[in-house]
Amino acid sequence: MEESGTTHYDLFIYDSKPDAWTCEPTVFPQETPPNFSSDRVITIAGTMVWVDLSQGIILCDLDLPPEEESSREGPRQLRYIRLPKPVLQPLNTKSFSRDIAVVDDRIKFVDLNIHDSSLGLYSWTAVTWSMSVGDLEFHKDGVVKSADIAPSGALDLGSVFVAHPTLSSHHSDILYLMAKAGPALPDRESTLIALDMKNMKMERVVKYTMQREGSMIFAYMLTTISKYLAPPGGISFSSARLLLQARTNMANPEATKPPGQDEAAHKDGAGNAHPPPFLEVTCRSSGEVRRFAAGTTARYALHAVNRKLAPGSPAALHVEAAKDGEEPVCFGPTAPLADYGRGWRLQTVTEQDAQENHHAPPSGDTKEGGGEAKRARDREALVKKATSAYLAKIGLAFLFIFLLGGLFTYLLETIPDMIQHASTPESL
């Protein structure tokens, strides 16, 4: 959307089918925003929403029914709705103290009012508002005060300075806050707080580093990348994540855990937390499957498997990861067991298995291996057939050259005699 002056806006729409841009005039039938400066753009139910965190939002309905779109005349109508006024004058009217997001098909807005601090004590009030696309104004949802939040471990909200409120796009009651020891301290360490506004408690507290000195001006970004990832080991992540990996202290594994995880996603039907992931190893001697914790070495797995074998059963020599049609991956004694994905299985190898693998073709027992061998034999037969045909053609060529040379020699010997005999006059 391009602004001309302060009261007129032109809407540019790109259509991928004709690969072309169109420009449409717009009009505000009611209030016109003064000096609007867009900080971000969000979409909800076919409506584009331009956000100016310092004053309000502009809404434009783009997904109109075909009959309304065809019968529409004149400029496209825009709506301007003012954001709620802060209870107290904030330190900054942009993302430092305000945020807006689409949550549960509603436009949700939060305003963080930071009170004056004294003697190193800080207090704040967070007010949340929301509205549907068809509403004419925001409606207050609730108020959260720092004094109402119980301390979590060693962290007391009254002892840290918070800013950059960030609404969760998937959990309507979760609010993220960035916290530091002071508003202007140029240190590397920061704290991310996932606040449960419904139950008035800190859901998660995670410390992270920006790998550089920074104040409260720089914060973090909200992303849903983890929603489309498939982490190994069956670990379930919440769909709403804060992108902290690039700034997280990798020396602290606890700091890499995503804040604000949905506890239900980590529990089974009985309400118990999921255990750590495990690996399954099939014993070729007994046919039984043994389970081992992630990180178990192959040496210990062999010891555990062989210890439970029946008398007379061949002992396992080593552990390998096998997949039909693939070269097996052997684990050394100190190598940790690993899962290589779909189709791969962990199994033990006995001396008998090793001998069979040594004398048998690598993949002759599988359909894929048999097919490959057949194709190789067919290629070899074709090469032999082509070679034989080539040699036969060469032999025929030499035979033709020999016959042609003999014919020329015969003609050279007989033609002169024939000419001489033809030119000699007959005697009377």
Quick: pLDDT tens for 302-355: 989 988 888 888 888 889 999 988 999 999 988 899 888 888 999 999 887 766
Q: Residue 403 domain-assigned?
A: no
CATH number at residue 352: 3.10.20.90
Amino acid letter, residue 382: L
| One domain for residues 174 and 114 | yes
| One domain for residues 37 and 172 | no
Q: Residue 423 domain-assigned?
A: no
| One domain for residues 10 and 159 | no
Length of the chain: 428
DSSP state of 114: E
DSSP state of 333: T
Q: Residue 133 domain-assigned?
A: yes
| One domain for residues 263 and 298 | no
Residue ending a domain, among 51, 82, 113, is 82
> Percent of the chain scored above 90 by pLDDT?
20
Q: Which residues contact 333 (CB under 8 A, 6 or more apart)?
A: 297, 298, 299
Residue ending a domain, among 359, 394, 413, is 359
What is d(CA 139, CA 84) in angstroms, rounded to the nearest whole number? 9
Return the SS3 of 410: helix
Residue ending a domain, among 359, 391, 406, is 359
| Nearest CA among 193, 206, 116, 118 for reference residue 149 | 193
Indicate whether 281 pLDDT > 90: yes
| One domain for residues 142 and 260 | yes
Residue 416, both tokens: 């002169």
Question: Could you give the number of structural domains in the chain?
Answer: 3
Q: Which domain holds residue 60?
A: 1-82
Indicate whether 93 pLDDT > 70: no
Q: Tens digit of pLDDT for each residue in 44-82?
A: 988 999 999 888 999 998 877 777 777 777 888 889 999
| One domain for residues 298 and 253 | no
To the question of pTM greater than 0.75 for the whole model, the response is no
Q: Do 227 and 204 meet the contact criterion of CB atoms below 8 Å apart?
A: no
172 phi, psi to nearest 5 deg: -65, -20
At residue 18's C-alpha, the angle toward residues 15 and 23, to 5°, is 50
| One domain for residues 78 and 185 | no
Q: Do 314 and 306 meet the contact criterion of CB atoms below 8 Å apart?
A: no
| One domain for residues 141 and 284 | no
| One domain for residues 134 and 223 | yes
The pLDDT-based confidence of 249 (bands split at 50, 70, 90) is very low
Return the SS3 of 351: helix
What is d(CA 251, CA 321) in angstroms, rounded to the nearest whole number? 31
Q: Residue 184 domain-assigned?
A: yes
Indicate whether 127 pLDDT > 80: yes
| One domain for residues 237 and 283 | no
